[in-house]
Structure 1
Amino acid sequence: MPQTSVLLILEGTYPFNGGGVSTWAHTLCNRVSNADFKLYSINASFEQKPKYELSKNISEVIQVPLWTPDEPYDYISYGEEYYKTVAKKEWTTSKIVEQKFVPLFRRLLSFIYSDNQEISELDEIFYELWLYFDDYDYKETIRNEQVWIAYRDTVSKFIVGERNPDSSLIDLTVGLRWIYRFLIPLAIVDLPKVDVAHLTLSGFPVIPALIANYKYGAKIILTEHGVFIRERLLAINSSEYPFFLKQLLIRFSEAVARLVYHKSEMIISVNKFNQKWEKWYGADPSKFKTIYNGIDPEIFKPGPKPAHLKNIPTVVAVARIFELKDILTMIRSCAVVKRSIPDIRYIVYGDDKAVPEYTETCLKLINELGLQENFKFMGNRNNPEELFLEGDISILTSISEGFPYTVIESLACGVPVVSTDVGGVKEALDESCGFTCKPKDAEEIGEKVVKLLLDETLRKEMAVKGRERILKNFTMNKFIAEYEDIYDNLKYPTKKQDKKEEAATLY
């Protein structure tokens, strides 16, 4: 039986960056046996080489850098013939832009700011944008003066009044630059033919999925890890952007999230928590399915603590160093623990170069609290199954999560967990194998860490229960079997019914 051809669409993760979504994608691409994967990887900048050894199941990697000084096609060939590239630039005259693109762009902007959105209209707008950019050049279009005038005049209607403070020229300019970057995938129209476009977040990466759907009839499915719109709202509300830019980001992000849910034939969540948010943004519950992340219990298994840490009370974390992981609260919890356990050691493994400003803020707090000997950043490692064994317990202090691998990997290794109660954490971690705490509450987190470190009997009980919980609920075999079934049934929708009918004839 031919394999299902899958365009797996990712942003800022696999195969060029680490993290939970990358672990999920790497597992999927290595273990699923009935799919040929083509990766569509959207990144901030151009990446020279993958951080992962790619599976033979991956036949192609399409990289789209969004925030480089030049255009993506200045770095990468996307298969379009040179003559067509040149011709598209020549065909993109001011008259064409004014007659064909500007009305579409006005419709898009009006939709973003409308309070009465019929989501099928946004689908139609993107369909017509795809048709337009199949013939005309992206850069020549967006930088045309008529586009700026249309943008300025359209958004001005929505930023006047008491509830919308005046916006500066620089605010308007930044807003258009953002739109320009978000829509860059519209310039990459020569996608490979696929059966399925598999999204890993309900955001702007929907654009290549839409193109695959319009061009080849590819079916769109979504696996939601952390809820895109929830995390976007958290980031925007804590930012220092002026009101106009916050409103633009929120409205555009909300509209796109609704479109993703509308177009997806199946909305898979790594936890049940996500589904509440998805329903708020118009998702049809009949599309919902929960597939928990799974791990290999033969790789993640209990073992001895390393000799050099044997007599040191140790907390281990595997987390990328950035805002959503709330490492600042983790540091403050270390200070709480130090009051009771002076020789406490927090060891944090993860990328500390991704957001340098945030890492600097963390290092400054470590110095202010006098934790230089207690709290250590260790950088990236590729052996998490060994790293968790360094800790008496593991810790997670995120303000947003999907279904974190660090929790189930720790439990499989027989290491109890103290975590914030976010996303699907409580679906993995119950009171038999660890503690959940309120996000940002360093005192509560610290107190739970102290309780576990000082009670060896409790730690050992939780270690056994945690391992049992993983073996029962969160193994890789279960995870992979569910995705293989989904891919088969999307390409061969009658297969499942045929199996049922065949089984019925046996009795």
Structure 2
Amino acid sequence: MNVDAAAGPSDVCLLVEGGYPYLLGGVSSWTDSFIRSFPAKRFSLVAFTTSDQERTRKFDLPANVERIVDVPIDACPAGRLPLLRGREAIAPLIRDLHAVLTDGGAPAWVRCVRELDRCDLRQRALLDSRPAWTALERIYEAMLPGAPLVDFFWTWRFLARSLIAIATAPIPPARIYHAISTGYPGLFGARAKALTGRPFVVTEHGIYTNERRIELSIADWIYESGAGGFAVTGTDPELRRVWLNAFNAMARITYDAADLITTQFRTNQLYQIEDGAPEAKLRMIPNGIRLDQFADIPPGPQPRRPTVLLVGRVVPIKDIRTFIEAAGLLRRQVPDVDAIIIGPEDEDPSYAAECRTLVRQLGLQNTVRFLGRVRDVKTYFGQTDVIALTSISEAQPLAILEAGAAGVPAVTTDVGSCREILEGSDGPDSGTVGGFVVRACDPQATADALARLLLDRDLRARMGRALRARIHAVFDQDRIVGLYEALYDSVDPAALDPPASGRSESLRDTGPAGEIGRIPWPA
């Protein structure tokens, strides 16, 4: 953990997990753009990583970032082992850690962080001592009786150690703490609020619990005895549910502590409510983009092949395999199609290798191209007929917004706010549709939708114009900056400078979640 020295509190401390400034991706790009949109405000960053994660910065930090704290969630201070008379403090702390990971106990988390702020009990006392082992045996019998003890031991050790890491990491002084997810950033924000009394807000792009649920459903390192059955409503204890319960508990603690909770679209709010978020705290603020950057993108060299572009990391959640299979099916209808994939391959090298192998197996070497990272993705929009998205989970994908701002229609899966972006409030039969929405994991439906656009120039132009109009009406970055200015001002009017004239849109007195933050989809 390192803190770059800086005088006085920052205006905003952003709490980010597994991304900015060390990894590329949609949320990382959003974070960088967000900071740059407030040049007069000073930012701190708390980046939640793992010990083996490469911490080479993939972004040039904006000049208004004052300090960074790196928090590896799989490592915590050793601390001391208390004398015999002082060991009575160990068991209550471990009980609270257990409550945090099972019940989403906000009071238990507050007790933990305050006690750990006061004392120097850390890993040696809470994980490595004899009292800690005795407590673990009781917790094992309560949480996962009958399962292999060694599997539970390592699960408990990781989760408890991550809580200790979060509860003992330096808190950069700031006027407002802003977590870009629940999970570990959310817990840190709840801790910062408890110890400093400063406001705490949360912005969720994808819903953290849903994304962890998807990852855990395909994880091959989790032991399952089969006792829990295969029904999603099964209640018998299994290791997978220990992890799911922990992430759900973190979300409840985050929502309980937050002053306000934002996301980009209404469907996400329904998930947040289901996970325990109070409706009165919910606000809706969409992503924003700099429209002027996409106004006059020059067309590429002509003539060229019909071109489909996918922009995204080559990882399972983006389902690049479906895009490749769809390209193979699409070639039957559009024989000379050029299917381009732009995005890094280093996050999951084995999956990237599988995708390249699939291209060879399907004989698509002359159809599918991997370009990796590119210096300026928007230059490719002028050489693209349709942008595609095959993800199995998304929030409000920037690639679709940016391509749409350049007049490129889209084919997306029915995830996140993709349907709202492409269809607006009038549905698929209106005259303002900006593309087609298909089922996830359906290569044939994806190929058919792409073919409709590639083979019909007038349809493609009409949908491109409609999508551009919607992006310009709803997702203008200046408007979004004004909404965040108002958000900060609403939780702590004295904390930040007043928003610039003409840029603030009030978030006060906005009523319950069903009525707030309504996105004005144009007719």
User: What TM-score do the two structures reach when normalised by structure 2?
Assistant: 0.84
Aligned to 2:445: 444
* Deviations, residues 291-337 of structure 1 (Å, cap 9, x unaligned): 11111111023534322x74211111110111111111111111110
Specify the alignment match of 1:82 in structure 2: none
Relative to structure 1, the CA distance from residue 340 to residue 285 in structure 2 (aligned partners, 3 Å threshold; closer, same or farther) is same
Deviation per residue, 1:432-485 (Å, 9 max, x gap) = 211111111111011000111111111111222221111111111011111112
Please give the per-residue CA displacement for 1:239-296, whole angstroms capped at 9, x wherever unaligned. 2322332011011111111111111111101111101111111211111111111111
Q: 2:343 matched to 1:338? A: no
Structure 1 residue 235 corresponds to structure 2 residue 225: no
Distance 1:453 1:5 in 2: 48
1:418/1:448 contact within 8 Å kept? yes
Pair 1:355-2:355 in alignment: no
Kindly report which structure 2 residues correspond to 1:147-162, keeping only aligned pairs within 5 A, or say none: 147-160=132-145
CA offsets, 1:393-439, max 9 Å, x none?
11101111111101110101111111001011122112521111111
Report what 2:284 is aligned to.
290
1:41-440 matches, within 5 Å, as: 41-44=47-50, 45-67=52-74, 71=75, 89-90=79-80, 92-93=81-82, 95=84, 98-110=87-99, 112-113=101-102, 117=103, 122-134=105-117, 135-141=119-125, 142-160=127-145, 166-186=146-166, 188-240=168-220, 241-243=222-224, 244-307=238-301, 310-430=303-423, 431=428, 432-440=433-441
CA separation in 2, counterparts of 1:111 and 1:63?
Answer: 23
For 2:411, what is the secondary structure of its paired residue? strand
Change (3 A) 1:147 1:450: same
- 388-397 or 170-179, which moves further after superposition? 170-179
User: Using a 3 Å threshold, how does the CA distance of structure 1 residues 124 and 343 change in structure 2: closer, same or farther?
Assistant: same
SS state of the match for residue 299, structure 1?
A: helix
Residue 29 of structure 2 corresponds to 23
Q: 1:351 to 1:50 in 2, by over 3 A?
A: same
For the 8 Å contact 1:16–1:50, the answer to whether it is kept is yes
Return the alpha-carbon distance in structure 1 between the equivalents of residues 176 and 494 of structure 2. 13
Cα offset for 1:110?
4.8
Shift of 1:3: 9.2
The aligned length equals 467
The 10-residue stretch of structure 1 (394-403 or 137-146) with the greater mean CA deviation from structure 2: 137-146
- Could you tell me how far apart the structure 2 residues matched to 1:376 and 1:298 are? 29
Aligned equivalents of 1:180 and 1:356: distance in 2?
Answer: 29
Question: Which stretch of structure 1 is more off in the superposition, 167-176 or 222-231?
Answer: 167-176
Which residue pairs with 2:487 in the alignment? 486
Q: Cα distance, 1:35 vs. partner?
A: 3.0
Query: What is the CA–CA distance in structure 2 between the aligned matches of 1:94 and 1:306, rounded to whole Å?
Result: 73
Residue 159 of structure 1 deviates from its aligned partner by 2.6
Assess, with a 3 A threshold, how the Cα gap between structure 1 residues 64 and 263 changes in structure 2: closer, same or farther: same
Q: Percent identity?
A: 27
Cα gap change, 1:434 to 1:212, in 2 (>3 Å): same
Q: For residue 35 of structure 1, what is the aligned residue in structure 2?
A: 41
CA separation of 1:347/1:491 partners in 2, compared to 1, >3 Å: closer, same or farther? same
Paired position in structure 2 for 1:472:
473
CA contact (8 A) 1:195 1:217 kept: no
Q: For residue 127 of structure 1, what is the amino acid of its counterpart?
A: V
Checking the alignment, whether the CA contact within 8 Å between 1:4 and 1:491 is kept in structure 2 is no
* CA offsets 1:183-232 (integer angstroms, 9 cap, x no match): 24335343122221101111122232123112211211110100011111
**AA partner of residue 355 (structure 1):** D
Of the structure 1 ranges 487-496 and 223-232, higher mean CA displacement relative to structure 2 is found in 487-496
Q: Residue type matched to 1:128 in 2?
A: R
How far apart are residue 353 of structure 1 and its match?
0.7
Aligned to 1:7, the other structure's residue is in SS state strand
User: In the superposition, relative to structure 1, how do residues 48 and 202 fare at CA in structure 2: closer, same or farther (>3 Å)?
Assistant: closer
Task: Tell me how far apart the structure 2 counterparts of residues 96 and 427 of structure 1 sit (CA, whole Å).
Answer: 61
Q: AA paired with 2:79?
A: K
Kept after mapping to 1: 8 A contact 2:43/2:65? yes
Cα distance in 2 for residues equivalent to 1:89 and 1:181: 12
Give unpaired runs (5+ residues) of structure 1: 74-87, 161-165, 501-507
How far, CA to CA, are the matches of 1:284 and 1:342 in structure 2?
52
Which AA in structure 2 matches 1:143? D
**1:89/1:181 Cα in 2 relative to 1: closer, same or farther (>3 Å)?**
closer
CA 248–272 in structure 1, closer or farther in 2 if over 3 Å, else same:
same
1:284 is matched by which residue type in structure 2?
P
Name the CA shift for 1:275/1:89 in 2 (closer, same or farther; >3 Å). closer
Provide closer, same or farther for how the CA distance between residues 269 and 48 of structure 1 changes in structure 2, counting only shifts above 3 A: closer
Q: Does the 8 Å CA contact 1:312/1:345 hold for their aligned counterparts? A: yes
Length-normalised TM-score, structure 1 = 0.86
Deviates more, 1:484-493 or 1:289-298: 484-493
Q: Are 2:12 and 2:177, in contact at CA under 8 Å, matched by a contact in 1?
A: yes
**Do the aligned partners of 1:229 and 1:253 also contact (CA within 8 Å) in 2?**
yes
Q: Which residue of 1 aligns with 2:233?
A: none
Q: CA RMSD in A?
A: 2.4
Equivalent residue of 2:245, what SS?
Answer: helix
Structure 2 counterpart of 1:79: none
